Amino acid sequence: MQVNGKHYRTVWMEDDKVYLIEQNLLPFKFEIFVSNDYLETCRAIKEMLVRGAGAIGTTAGYAMAQAFMQAPENDWHQFNIMAKSKIEATRPTAQNLFYATEKVFQAAINNASPIQAAQAAAERIAEEDIAACKKIGEFGNALIKQKANILTHCNAGWLAFTDFGSALSPIYSAHASDKDIFVYVDETRPRSQGARLTAWELSNQKIPHKIIPDNAAAYFMQQGKVDMIITGADRIAANGDTANKIGTLEKAICAKEFGIPFYIAAPSSTIDLNCKSGKNIPIEFRSDDELLYQTGIDEDNVMRKIRVSSPDSSGLNPAFDVTPAKYISGIITEKGIFKPEEINNIFKLEQ
C-alpha cells in the first residue's frame, strides 16, 4: 500500500526491532511504532496497535524471533517457552497468531543457529502472508461483476495483513482491472475499524465507498443495493464455521434472507483443522471501555477520549462471533474458492 507516495508493509522487522503502523491513531495520524523487545511487541498486539488476522500472525512471528534474541543462555529453553505462552495469550481467537508462534518456535529449537532460524521463519511467514493475500485478490476478483455493490465488515484490508489484505484484496484487484465498483463500509462498532481503517484505505485507493451504520446493512440489502458481501476471518474451523469481528453473523443471516452471496476471504494460515466446529473457537471479550468511550480528534487536532454512554452503566464486549458454515457461499483462499464443507478435506491434503 502506498502512503504519501511511499510503499509500506503493515509490520516489518529490521535487526532486532519490529516496526508497526500505529493503527490506533489512524485515520487522523500516520505514525510508525518501534518495538524494541518481545514484550513491547506483545503489548502492540494486545492493545491493537496492530490488528487483523494476518498482521497479528506476522507480528507474533517477529515477537517470537525477538524472544529467541533476548533469551539468556542459562535459562534459554524455559525463557522461550514462557515467551511463546505470553505471545499467544495476547489475542486468543486469532488462529494466525498460533500458527506463527509455533512455526518460528519449531524452526528455532531444531536448528544449530536458533536466532537466525527464528528470524528466517518469521520472514517466511510475512512473505507467505503477502503472496497468499495477492492470490486471494486474483481469485476473488473473478466473483466481482462490473458495477458491483459490495458490502464489507470491519477491516480485512492491507492494514489487517502484511500487505494486500483478504476481504479487500479482491476489491483492490477489481479496481485495478477497471471494474466500476462501489463499497458499503460497515462502521464496525465498538472500535469503528470500518469507519476508521477500511474507509481510509479505500480513500487512499480512490475507490468509491460510503460508511454506513452497522445496523443499516439489512436496510440496504432489503432495498436491493448490495450485490455481494465479502468479510475476513480470524479463525476457520474444520467444518467451515468462521469466527470474525462481532457483527459478521448478523450480516450473514441477513444475506441468506435476501439471497445475497456471502463470502469469507482468508489465507490457509487462518484455517484451524484441529478445531472441529465454531463451538470450539474461543471468543475474546475485551474491555467495556471500547463500548462506553470513543476516541477521536478535536478541532485543535488533539486526540481525545470521551464517554458516550450512561455514566452509571457498564457493558459486555465480545470481540468476535461465529458464522455457521450454512450461511457462507464460499471461502476465498490462496488455493482457490471452496465451499465451507470442502475445507477440511482440501487443506488436510495440503498439510
Q: Which set of grid coordinates corresponds to residue 244?
A: 470474525
Low-confidence stretches of the chain (pLDDT < 70) are 349-351
The pLDDT of residue 2: 81
198 Cβ neighbours under 8 A, 6+ residues apart: 152, 154, 155, 157, 168, 185, 188
Is residue 333 within 8 A of residue 268, CB to CB? The reply is yes
pLDDT, tens digit, for every residue of 312-324?
999 999 999 999 9
Within 71-150, residue ranges assigned H as helices are: 76-88, 95-109, 114-141
Where exactly does CATH 3.40.50.10470 map onto the chain? 139-350
The catalytic residues are 234
Q: Say whether domain 139-350 belongs to CATH 3.40.50.10470.
A: yes
CATH number of 2-133: 1.20.120.420
Pairing label, strands 320-323, 242-245: antiparallel
pTM over 0.75, yes/no: yes
pLDDT, tens digit, for every residue of 127-169?
999 999 999 999 999 999 999 999 999 999 999 999 999 999 9
The pLDDT of residue 350: 59
Q: Which set of grid coordinates corresponds to residue 226?
A: 448490495
The pLDDT of residue 220: 98
Where exactly does CATH 1.20.120.420 map onto the chain? 2-133
